[in-house]
Amino acid sequence: MSTKRKIFRWAVRIGMGLATGITAALTLFLVGYVLIKGFPNISWELLSTSPSYISERIGILPDILNTVYIVIATLIIVIPLGVGAAIYLTEYAASKKLVGIIEYAAEALSGIPSIIYGLVGMLIFSNNMGTSLLAGALTLVIMNLPTIMRNTQESLKTVPQSYREGAFGLGAGKWRVIRTVVLPGCLDGVITGCILSVGRILGESAALLYTAGFAHVAYGFFDGLTQSGSTLTVALYVYAKERGEFGVAFAIASILMVLAFLINLSASMISKHHQRRNAA
């Protein structure tokens, strides 16, 4: 082998090793650093109280509740919309052009940065119904629509055509076929979409800052939806950037990190389960 080829071989090997090493080391460092800085700051008091200026106490209970509320509200609205859109695309749409336009629109939606969603959400929702968790949730609905739609669509494609034909052959109408044959088949797609959406909602801050606001008061679900409130991610930003409370910020960051890990784990478990089922 000529020296030139040898040099190429080793340059490439070293380059790949370095790059992969950097990627792995960065992840390890980020995860480790946040967990080590964050865990000691997590206390039961932090998790179970509201912040109080009088006793100079910081609690993130309201932020936890707000996060849960906003996830629930978003999913309740986005699932029917996304699944419906996917069903239209795979079961009804006859015109290829229309399908192309809808899919292009979905792609465009997933490329729009969250700060723009925040701005438009503020104009459309918050200016009409006040800065509130519901306004934030509606903004997140638009953001997560493509995720739910695409995942449902993928799993609808795996429902064998013969199932549909069998049902039609037995005299079922289209709606009945969708309800009894198609919908049950796309359940795992919907679940995958939901998990990915939850991950995105947990990590979202720019879209919520000016739609859901940043109050830290604990409410019940329905009262909470009409009030301004910050999710954990927004609270992290406020505590770190505006208040300089880095202990609290790292505590929240470590919680988010653990949640992100769990979401990744369940997403990959579901896709593995899915692959196995399709292979069988």
In the window 134-173, what residues touch another protein (CB under 8 A)?
A: 142, 145-146, 149, 173
60 is a contact residue toward another protein (CB under 8 A): no
What sign does the dihedral 87-91-93-97 (CA atoms) show?
Answer: positive
Q: For another protein, which stretch binds (CB under 8 A), given 12-20, 61-69, 129-137, 154-162? A: 12-20
Least distance (Å) from another protein to the CB of residue 251? 11
Least distance (Å) from another protein to the CB of residue 222? 25
Question: Rule CB under 8 A: which of 23-52 touch another protein?
Answer: 23-24, 26-28, 30-31, 33-34, 37
Q: Which of 51, 59, 62, 118 binds another protein (CB under 8 A)?
A: 118
195 is a contact residue toward another protein (CB under 8 A): no
261 is a contact residue toward another protein (CB under 8 A): yes
Question: Of 31 and 191, which CB lies nearer to another protein in the complex structure?
Answer: 31
Question: Of 13 and 277, which CB lies nearer to another protein in the complex structure?
Answer: 13
Instruction: Enter the tokens of residue 60.
Output: 């993130």
